[in-house]
Chains A and B, each alone.
Chain A
């Protein structure tokens, strides 16, 4: 597709269950990001993948959160034993990996429409 695609768009789950959120980045984009946005809040960085490099996991809030990116394309964010505080919108984004030459195209990070997670 033309944009970043995320699924499911909405997910309601019971506390303690595991959930998987999927992200399909823009074709050709080597960088992929996961962010979390709680209601009325800004975006919180979770994890970043760049090509075959080791991912930057510095934003993952606990060991219940993990993510993988298979074949350098699709990514899955997994939340184990969900808690009510995990309720948020999970946003995926992707970008090219170009040096900064003052051109917006190579540096722009495009977001998907998010996966709204509600833990009850």
Chain B
């Protein structure tokens, strides 16, 4: 079974609108971390936001927020007030376990295009 599933290969959003990128995960660990990364066409991987499994509140970082629904095992990324520069590939990732910085498992990504 896929550990990280991103069901939207491509998404379009109008500039200044909000958009939600879906991510579901599968783990039997009680403690895990969820990450979102942005990869523009230049290829660099840019960290956006992190949610720990024990965090009671949804993570927020500027225009990014993570809609964390633990029972549903979903960690959707919400981008508010989209900008043209937000056009990029977005990856959801999970790190399982605590006490050591284990590997990240990535989803297949969602290509977001912001329309003017």
Contact = CB atoms under 8 A, between A and B. Distances in A.
Contacts of B55: 102
A59 B106 contact: no
A45 B107 CA distance: 12
A56 B47 contact: no
B62 interface: no
A33 B103 contact: yes
B43 A113 contact: yes
A89 B43 contact: yes
A119 interface: no
Contacts of A41: 108
B-side interface size class = 20 to 34
B104 A33 contact: yes
Interface of A: 30-31, 33, 35, 41-43, 45, 48, 50, 56, 59, 89, 91, 93, 95-104, 107-111, 113-114, 116
B68 to A, nearest CB: 12
Contacts of B44: 111, 113-114
B25 interface: no
Given A43-B91, A114-B44, A104 B101 contact: no
A50 B103 CA distance: 10
Interface string B69-95: 000000000000000000000010101
B51 to A, nearest CB: 9
Nearest to B54: A102
